[in-house]
Amino acid sequence: MIAEDAPVDGLSPLTLASYAPNSSTALYDTVAAVVKKLLSHRLAHDDNTSVLLTITTDGDDTSSSVWKTPDMTEFRALMKAVSENGRWTVALAGPDSKLREFADLMCVDRGNVAAFTPESLSSRDDLMFSSVQAMRGYVSSRATGIRRSEDLYASSVSGHRARAILDHEDGKR
């Protein structure tokens, strides 16, 4: 945890020294811990509170110790509960190769999924632009009273890419 309940203007940007990924992602453990932490927040159940949870990963879960496949029934139930409560928007930006698995397991609405190819600079750039636009759209809709979004990435390049991947995989089933 880098910061909690801190004013944005007091935060420092990540640097190469403070952020050093090392292929030891505990993706499922981290997502579940964040969801539980947010659910325990003093305003979590206030009707005026909404949550935008954006999950971005460039690979796979390589080191979760609490939540491990193949039995992720409880993890999926936790994610389903928050994604269906009407005040949480769960978004996922993930690699092409793992998109279906992550989106299904984390119960992410199709319009809130963005895909990218980690090895491609232009694909990563598209994702960053799409993510900024998605967050701006969320803040704008939240200002009008909307508490949940199902289409954060609907009009973005990364969102179209995700839908093409998900639609293609649906056709295989």
The pLDDT of residue 173: 54
Q: Are 57 and 26 in contact, with CB atoms under 8 Å apart? A: no
Query: pLDDT tens string for the chain (173 positions)?
Result: 677 778 888 888 878 787 776 777 889 999 999 999 999 999 998 988 999 999 998 888 888 888 887 779 999 999 999 998 899 999 999 998 888 889 999 999 999 999 999 889 999 999 999 999 999 999 999 999 999 999 999 888 888 989 898 888 666 65
Distance from C-alpha of 47 to C-alpha of 51, rounded to nearest angstrom? 11
Q: Are 132 and 123 in contact, with CB atoms under 8 Å apart? A: no
Q: Are 111 and 159 in contact, with CB atoms under 8 Å apart? A: yes
C-alpha of 28 from chain center: 12
Closest to 116 measured CA to CA, from 132, 137, 130, 133: 130
The pLDDT of residue 113: 95
Distance from C-alpha of 45 to C-alpha of 43, rounded to nearest angstrom? 6
Number of neighbours of residue 39 by Cβ within 10 angstroms: 15
Q: Are 87 and 147 in contact, with CB atoms under 8 Å apart? A: yes
Closest to 78 measured CA to CA, from 106, 38, 113, 43: 106
Structure letter (DSSP) for residue 64: -
Distance from C-alpha of 8 to C-alpha of 142, rounded to nearest angstrom? 18
Q: Which 3 state secondary structure label does DSSP give 114? A: strand
